[in-house]
Structure 1
Amino acid sequence: MVRLGPTAICRALGARYPVFGFSHSPDVIVALAEAGGFGVLGLAREMPDDIAQIIARVEKRLAGKPYGIDLMLPAGVPQHADIGNVRAALPSAHIEFVAALRERFALAAPTRPSFFTTQVRSEALFNAQIEAVLASKACAVATAIGIRPELIARAKAVGKYTISLVGSPRHAQKALALGVDALVAQGADAGGHTGPIGTFSLVPQIVAVAAGRPVLAAGGIGTGAQVAASLAMGAQGAWLGTLWLAAKENHTPPALLQRLIEANSDDTLVTRAHSGKPCRVVRSAWIDAWQASDAPAPLPMPQQQALTGGDFSAMHEYDCADLIYEAAGQSVFAIDAPTTVAAQMATLIAEANEALAALEAAMAD
């Protein structure tokens, strides 16, 4: 009987199962490693000065277990940027629109500093993040938006496995030309910044372009049967992000967790209102306000974050039931209750084995 086990990329990275989990939470990454998956820690929202300490704490807890780090490196941001200066140059119409939203929703200012209230994305910020990541013991470095030739070269030079998230065959070809070790075919179903091609259409195209290099399937994946389907399409595993928001290790604010539990796939949408680039989120009253006919067009990155980053932080700090949202994919359908990473991994593995057994039986018949 065929059962879920390590693929070539799993063996290269030391994972027991072809389940790759992206999360901003160190606790999720540790729990994934303990359950036999491969955790990829998203550090794009972290302050550069904090990254080294975050990495050190994670590596101490992992005690040698493998993990990866993910960065977001979009092109077109300024070389240097101060959030105060960016805010000072924002269009008055956008400032007035957001001020009216705060008044309408009685949204107070955040009291705690965060990446979204103190930083905007810039080349200087990216360089600081890159240096911290290269100094880590992470065995893999993934880039979500944007890919830097110098990062790929330097990461490979220090023995790190390189992974690029791509949303089209054209993106995949560029990444392969730079020598990345593996690709994540991230379909439009995915949470966060995503392209227009659906996962089931994208994965086989990327597998063909990769010509033997490992591919992971991503976008809307929340069940073990979908993990098995990813393997059937030629991928060597599945990359999941949204599902872990339901785990206690993610420390998801209660109102957001309830929103995710109640949401269906069609309760997510792609908007530029979060970051200035197309990003799939679970909708809320705040997101709906930006979709209204009287709303201005969102500003480009990093201006949109400078405009609304404080509001995003505030709705999370105060756990605002009507307003709170987060990047989330169409796999929200798989979230139906609070849970743990261990339970989620056990379910994914069991479901994948059931799907593989059913496929084997169907072929035998």
Structure 2
Amino acid sequence: MNRRLDTAVCHQFGSQLPILAFSHSLPVTAAATNCGAIGIWGATRNTPEEIDEGLAWLAARCGGRPYGVDLVLPANMPERDNRELLETRLPQCHRDFVAALRTKYAVPDDGLPGTRSRFVRSQEMAHAQLGVVLASEAPITAMGVGSPPEAVSSLHDAGKSVISLVGTTEHARRALDAGTDMLVAQGYDAGAHTGDIGTFSLVPQIVDLAGDIPVVAAGGVATGRHLAAALAMGACGVWMGTAWLFAKEHDLDPLVLAKLAAADSGDTIRSRADSGKTLRQITTAWTDEWSEPGAPEPLAMPLQDILVGDLLGAVSRHRIEPLMKSEAGQSVGYFRERTDVASILDGLITEAVHVLDRLGSDI
């Protein structure tokens, strides 16, 4: 490997590659780690029992190599996991809008919740999820939203490293004050929860602010050229998510995969319709409906989760094609075909080394 890819990420976590591979797929997470990167399993929508099982599965397959788990721990969530109480706070106009979508697209009401509505994002659930992570063998915990100082402290006491995803310098300062070990500067281009500042504008600012704390670049990362550019901006690696949606290890519905493969960078949109927070995803009938004049404004998290969770769960289970969707960053335009994790990493590293060699100077 080119010596310029032997960065602080590799030194801090013992990985071969300065790449953090985020995925909701356990097989993708394990494959990334076993190929020399650092697999990060997105588990915020899993129950504590599922997180416990998933982390045990990873520990058995990663052979002591570095891997981690990502949780979302936003502030100001309800104290208790009480869906019935939240349902009383859902405005009737929002209920009617969702009911009309169910009728319009013939979505069966099978009486089952979706991943967003089977529990409430609450202080109670966050505490339970974090407790399982603390008791696990996972060496790394990433925080996709929020870096509560008490959580960072507890993770450090348990011997774990903490990575904080940030979208502004204000977010970064709070995470640094909380004691985070690494920052992920996530630009506007990124999939899922993302802010307003572009990757090229954000990363150097976070690098300057962080001092000796390593910074990883996220948002629009798809190629070795992006990795080289991240190093040029002072980052010590990259965080990638969208790429792994195209991995054969990911058991993704073929209908969703076809939409992803057909999408260009301009075919994504930030919408609050899923969770109440901005969430970049491919454009579909779902995002179109919530963007129409007269559509209600999405509710704040976690009310929006409860409002739409059952419907989205039924859409997935019954494969209602117009409404089926996926989170994705603007890097989706670089991918067209399914391949495996190893091939994605090999292509990225080969190109990054070529670019760095061609530039011929230390970055």
With the shorter chain as reference, the TM-score category is over 0.9
In the alignment, what sits opposite 1:92?
Answer: 92
Shift of 1:314: 2.0
In the alignment, what sits opposite 2:260?
Answer: 260
In the alignment, what sits opposite 2:41?
Answer: 41
Counterpart residue type for residue 175 of structure 1: A
Verify: 1:225 aligned to 2:225, yes or no: yes
Contact 1:142 1:165 survives alignment (8 Å): yes
In the alignment, what sits opposite 2:207?
Answer: 207
Structure 1 residue runs of 5 or longer lacking an equivalent are none
Equivalents in 2 of 1:223, 1:314: separation in Å?
35
In the alignment, what sits opposite 1:352?
Answer: 352
**1:330-349 alpha-carbon deviations (Å, 9 max, x no partner):** 11012211111111111111
**Structure 1 pair 110/201, CA: closer, same or farther in 2 (3 Å)?**
farther
Equivalents in 2 of 1:351, 1:67: separation in Å?
24
In the alignment, what sits opposite 2:76?
Answer: 76
Contact 2:105 2:320 survives alignment (8 Å): no
Write out aligned runs for 1:135-154 (5 A).
135-154=135-154
Equivalents in 2 of 1:123, 1:76: separation in Å?
8
Instruction: State TM-score, norm by structure 2.
Output: 0.96
Shift of 1:14: 1.3
**1:146-195 alpha-carbon deviations (Å, 9 max, x no partner):** 11111111111222111111111111111111211110000011111111
In the alignment, what sits opposite 1:166?
Answer: 166
Verify: 1:292 aligned to 2:292, yes or no: yes
Secondary structure of the residue that 1:144 maps to in structure 2? strand
Counterpart residue type for residue 225 of structure 1: R
Contact 2:114 2:311 survives alignment (8 Å): no
Equivalents in 2 of 1:272, 1:20: separation in Å?
26
Equivalents in 1 of 2:116, 2:162: separation in Å?
27
Higher mean displacement: 170-179 or 206-215: 170-179
**Structure 1 pair 327/147, CA: closer, same or farther in 2 (3 Å)?**
same
**1:30-76 alpha-carbon deviations (Å, 9 max, x no partner):** 10011110011111010122211111112111122210111101112
Contact 1:110 1:313 survives alignment (8 Å): no
**Structure 1 pair 279/91, CA: closer, same or farther in 2 (3 Å)?**
same
Counterpart residue type for residue 321 of structure 1: E
Counterpart residue type for residue 248 of structure 1: K
Contact 1:4 1:349 survives alignment (8 Å): no
Equivalents in 2 of 1:115, 1:294: separation in Å?
27
Counterpart residue type for residue 172 of structure 2: A
Shift of 1:255: 0.9
**1:95-130 alpha-carbon deviations (Å, 9 max, x no partner):** 111111111111123576553231120000000000
Counterpart residue type for residue 255 of structure 1: L
**Structure 1 pair 111/25, CA: closer, same or farther in 2 (3 Å)?**
farther
Aligned-residue Cα RMSD (Å) equals 1.7
Equivalents in 1 of 2:85, 2:159: separation in Å?
39
In the alignment, what sits opposite 2:103?
Answer: 103
Equivalents in 1 of 2:316, 2:179: separation in Å?
39
Counterpart residue type for residue 223 of structure 1: T
Shift of 1:355: 1.6
In the alignment, what sits opposite 2:275?
Answer: 275
Secondary structure of the residue that 1:309 maps to in structure 2? helix
Verify: 1:335 aligned to 2:335, yes or no: yes
Equivalents in 1 of 2:4, 2:255: separation in Å?
35
**Structure 1 pair 165/251, CA: closer, same or farther in 2 (3 Å)?**
same
Verify: 1:320 aligned to 2:320, yes or no: yes
Equivalents in 2 of 1:84, 1:314: separation in Å?
20
Shift of 1:25: 0.9
Query: Percent of aligned pairs with the same residue?
Result: 44
Counterpart residue type for residue 140 of structure 1: I
Contact 1:185 1:203 survives alignment (8 Å): yes
Write out aligned runs for 1:54-69 (5 A).
54-69=54-69
Counterpart residue type for residue 215 of structure 2: V
In the alignment, what sits opposite 1:250?
Answer: 250
In the alignment, what sits opposite 1:5?
Answer: 5
Higher mean displacement: 241-250 or 195-204: 241-250
In the alignment, what sits opposite 1:238?
Answer: 238
Shift of 1:4: 5.5
Secondary structure of the residue that 1:165 maps to in structure 2? strand
| Residue correspondences, number | 362
Shift of 1:315: 2.2
**1:247-296 alpha-carbon deviations (Å, 9 max, x no partner):** 12121111111111000111111111010011111111011000000200
Secondary structure of the residue that 1:163 maps to in structure 2? strand
In the alignment, what sits opposite 1:185?
Answer: 185
Runs of 4 or more above 6 Å deviation: none
In the alignment, what sits opposite 2:197?
Answer: 197
Contact 1:47 1:115 survives alignment (8 Å): no
Equivalents in 2 of 1:143, 1:39: separation in Å?
14
Equivalents in 2 of 1:356, 1:39: separation in Å?
24
Equivalents in 2 of 1:60, 1:68: separation in Å?
13
